[in-house]
Amino acid sequence: MVGAGARVIVVMPDGQELRAFLYERRRTSARWEYRVGVTVWGTGSGSRPEPVEHSVWLGADHVRPLEGGDYSRVPTQPASPPAAFAGGQQAWTVQQLPHRPGHPGATLIHVIGCQPGATPLDLDQTLEALKQPRAVTCRECNAASSLP
């Protein structure tokens, strides 16, 4: 591995898959975006082909980890502060993680926008959800920092 980051597969518009390096990721209000570097052929000195890296931000639908890939060392920009919903108050969402063999179910609290399409909760509803067993805040959107 080269520095902090991870090897990934980039899916091109024609379906072709290329190996790339994931340098960083960020959460926008609508989706995850990934800055990847893809090595391609370019024109070097004397018009000779040489490898050059092209770096670009891509949506999650165009990037996937190599098998066994780990994003834990990838620099991650947290989501923006929670958006407001009706009444101008901050909002959060709750995700129920199902029980599976060897892993009990859990409740995950997100800043609104981290899980698109989820129903917003107000502060009282969010704090009540956090009182449930195995309830935690999402590390990706840094939901804990948005709560009093």
pLDDT per residue rounded down to tens, the chain (148 residues): 356 788 999 999 899 999 999 999 887 766 788 899 999 888 878 888 998 898 888 988 899 888 777 777 888 886 655 455 555 556 888 888 777 777 777 888 888 777 766 678 888 888 998 998 888 888 777 788 778 7
| Whole-number Å distance between alpha carbons of 128 and 130 | 5
Query: Containing domain of residue 69, as a range?
Result: 6-77
92 burial (CB, 10 Å; 0-12 / 13-18 / 19+) is buried
Q: Is residue 1 part of a domain?
A: no
Bridge-partner residues for 123, per DSSP? none
Residue that terminates a domain, selected from 77, 103, 127: 77
Residue that terminates a domain, selected from 77, 105, 124: 77
Same domain as 71, residue 88: no
Same domain as 99, residue 64: no
Structural domain count, the chain: 2
Same domain as 90, residue 65: no
Tell me the three state secondary structure of residue 76. strand
